Structure 1
């Protein structure tokens, strides 16, 4: 409430990019450009408080899925946080197909709203630049190392869905979503390594995306449940790290569930990744 009256809200448009960049920069303490905000506005639904003190945003779910993501910015001198969360949930509730809204906060913060439940910790990790594999371990027989160009249509989609079925961070993507990702300028086909069966089915995978001039974001990384426990991801990750070192690609980052049921975080720590940011995901079922 503002002065005893409910906050008014309006939909944000391209003309609000400069204002939103200034607001996000103030709240985050880091520089956010209007170009970044313009790109953000092309995929997120954004609303701005009439008073210019806050903004909320919702990323709609992919087709056929239910989870969307939320964010908000409130000026430091404002005390309207509860009204902002109300508006965020209202915006999410009006977003077609969205039934689970997820937000992420630094782990030292909490959501002062009983509608949100803690889901899981999220770690951002970066490679230390000194811990390198001497060689890439061999894959277990009868698997072989394959490249993205060798994957049969639908084979990766099937493997991804199986590998992430028991994971909490990501929902499976459909064929159209993978086609868009693989066709994007950021997709680094040369980084993608896969463990293939004699029938050319995918047993494990490590993919990568370009970030900035020479940076790399690794992921998704996974192993089909029937092949887990045989060192497949460790071997594939070692191969990717060797490639990054030889080609001077840095920084190498990834995001992982800090309490992954497959203990993926322990694998990354073993391979020289360290935690640089700890977040906690909260969710509300609409």
Structure 2
């Protein structure tokens, strides 16, 4: 759910309240309505485990929800999102965006809040600037062309070997995740408990999760995937530890995953990437047959 394109609306007389597990179905419907993806109640439950979520009720109906993902330990950056039942006009856009900022300001340890909006929605950009948000970096949604497939399984550099999700513990994966994304901009702070919950969901593509590990079992790179309700696959997170970059690790992992997707006829295959990644990850995905389908702009505000 992180990275979903944002839509906003304002309803007079909103009453805000914390979201609970009982709101999962409602939130899934609301998020699906304002994005290009379908979300399940199970995905929302995993989402609620990590994010602070508030719901705005108006009368008997739920009109909007805002969410903030707190920063990981030792970090100060968090992420915001919101979903609404109706579109907004420019004059009233700021009410829900302002509520996200308020929720972020009350989140312990959070100093920088980021959100992403479609690049073509200039109305969003103007209103976000009014809320003190400044553009930070481009974010691309990419989809595989269903034609460009690896002709063979690539080898990992010695002494790495392929491993599956069940070969490592959530703590081992969390350590690798933190290290691989230490210099990345669009990174979601998680905990070992979050990975345990996500991996236990029906959406987690256990058969696709592919890792590169060292002889002593440390994770050097990874490609995970999640089943989408429409039958496709969302790849991510994808990462390589800095000491193993530019040695073909990610290419080998991605090739293995794409070959499995082809065998299972899983399509569409999508992912989200920093459009100006310091690792030039977007160029790797383009070479493997992914095409840009949506361009977002990530904005951030210093709290």
Instruction: Give the drift of 1:58.
Output: 2.0
Q: State the TM-score, normalizing by the size of structure 2.
A: 0.78
User: Aligned residue for 1:252?
Assistant: 269
- In 2, the alpha carbon distance for the partners of 1:136 and 1:225 equals 23
Task: Give me the CA root mean square deviation.
Answer: 3.6
User: Aligned residue for 2:186?
Assistant: 169
1:138 matched to 2:155? The reply is yes
Instruction: Give the drift of 1:269.
Output: 0.4
Instruction: Give the drift of 1:84.
Output: 4.0
Structure 1: stretches of 5+ with no match in the other structure = 1-6
Distance 1:242 1:22, change over 3 A: closer
Q: State the TM-score, normalizing by the size of structure 1.
A: 0.82
Distance 1:141 1:45, change over 3 A: same
User: Aligned residue for 1:268?
Assistant: 285
Instruction: Give the drift of 1:179.
Output: 1.2
> Secondary structure at the residue paired with 2:91?
coil
Q: Is the 8 A contact 1:56 1:88 kept in 2?
A: no
User: Aligned residue for 2:6?
Assistant: none
Q: Is the 8 A contact 1:123 1:255 kept in 2?
A: yes
Distance 1:90 1:8, change over 3 A: farther
- In 2, the alpha carbon distance for the partners of 1:19 and 1:158 equals 31
For residue 86 of structure 1, the aligned residue among 79, 94, 98 is 98
- In 1, the alpha carbon distance for the partners of 2:153 and 2:47 equals 42
1:211 matched to 2:228? The reply is yes
For residue 102 of structure 1, the aligned residue among 114, 127, 144 is 114
Q: Is the 8 A contact 1:208 1:217 kept in 2?
A: yes
1:47 matched to 2:56? The reply is yes
1:70 matched to 2:81? The reply is yes
Q: Is the 8 A contact 1:72 1:84 kept in 2?
A: no
Structure 2: stretches of 5+ with no match in the other structure = 1-11
1:198 matched to 2:198? The reply is no
- In 2, the alpha carbon distance for the partners of 1:99 and 1:75 equals 29
Q: Give the paired residue count.
A: 279
Distance 1:111 1:39, change over 3 A: farther
